[in-house]
């Protein structure tokens, strides 16, 4: 999947309560995703920010579900899964992706999807919003979550 074609979203999240739920595997990539998300929240004027850390991406949906049912206007889920030599990658990616989608649909609370699913660490670092990265998926997940809150309010 290519990052080309991503929209430029100018979002104002003033007054929103946003919680980041973040996995802990692959520290350097996660640090980049988290910093990108924090930068985007500041740029969008969001000041009510919480952060919840979970062990791995498999645990993102349960944390996102709890947060979505306890007052957050939006959730931003961050994680990175790197393909190994076993089918484990597919199971973790599938569970996290489907789980996060279920949380959004069942709760009605937008979930920004900042889960990287990569073949190797180099792909992940290139998307992590670090110096030299070509993409900033943590920031994009924040912008998408805020834009969706605003879009839903207009319906
Ligand atoms: C077990 C596992 C593996 C092999 N790889 C990753 C990964 O690349 N990224 C990630 O976020 N989590 C990984 N995990 C951990 C699972 O997500 C989960 O935390 C454990 O299976 C315990 O439930």
The domain segmentation of the chain, as residue ranges, is 29-153
Q: Residue 76: is its pLDDT beyond 90?
A: yes
pLDDT of residue 10: 81
Distance CA 66, CA 131 (A): 33
Rounded to the nearest angstrom, the distance between the alpha carbon of 57 and the centre of ligand 1 is: 6
| Longest alpha-carbon distance in the chain | 46
Structural contact between residues 107 and 71, judged by C-beta atoms closer than 8 angstroms: no
Q: Residue 31: is its pLDDT beyond 80?
A: yes
Residue nearest to atom 4 of ligand 1 (CA): 88
The 10s digit of each residue's pLDDT in 35-51 is: 999 999 999 999 999 99
Q: What is the CATH number of domain 29-153?
A: 3.40.50.960
Is 92 close to ligand 1, i.e. is its CB under 6 Å away? yes
Mutual orientation of helices 60-68 and 88-107 as an angle, nearest 10°? 10
* pLDDT band, residue 32 (cuts 50/70/90): very high
Is 63 close to ligand 1, i.e. is its CB under 6 Å away? no
Q: What is the pTM of this model?
A: 0.96
In the chain, helix, strand, coil percent, each to 5? 45, 20, 35
Percent of the chain residues topping a pLDDT of 90 = 90
The mean per-residue pLDDT over the stretch 125-138 comes to 97
Pocket test for ligand 1, best of 27, 31, 58, 61 (most atoms within 8 A of CB): 58
Pocket test for ligand 1, best of 57, 60, 85, 114 (most atoms within 8 A of CB): 57
6: DSSP letter: -
Q: Where are the alpha helices (DSSP H) in 16-153?
A: 27-43, 60-68, 88-107, 121-126, 137-153
């Amino acid at each position: 999947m290519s990052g080309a074609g991503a929209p430029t979203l100018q979002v104002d999240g003033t007054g929103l309560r946003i919680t980041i739920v973040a996995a802990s595997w692959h520290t350097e990539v996660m640090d980049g995703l988290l910093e990108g998300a924090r930068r985007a929240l500041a740029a969008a004027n969001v000041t009510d920010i919480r952060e919840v850390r979970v062990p791995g991406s498999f645990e993102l949906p349960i944390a996102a579900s709890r947060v979505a049912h306890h007052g957050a206007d939006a959730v931003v889920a961050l994680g990175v899964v790197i393909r190994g030599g076993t089918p484990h990658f597919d199971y973790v990616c599938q569970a996290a992706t489907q789980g996060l989608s279920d949380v959004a649909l069942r709760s009605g609370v937008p979930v920004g999807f900042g889960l990287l699913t990569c073949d190797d660490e180099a792909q992940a670092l290139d998307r992590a919003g670090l110096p030299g990265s070509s993409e900033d998926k943590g920031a994009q997940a924040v912008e998408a979550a805020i834009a969706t809150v605003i879009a839903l309010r207009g319906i």
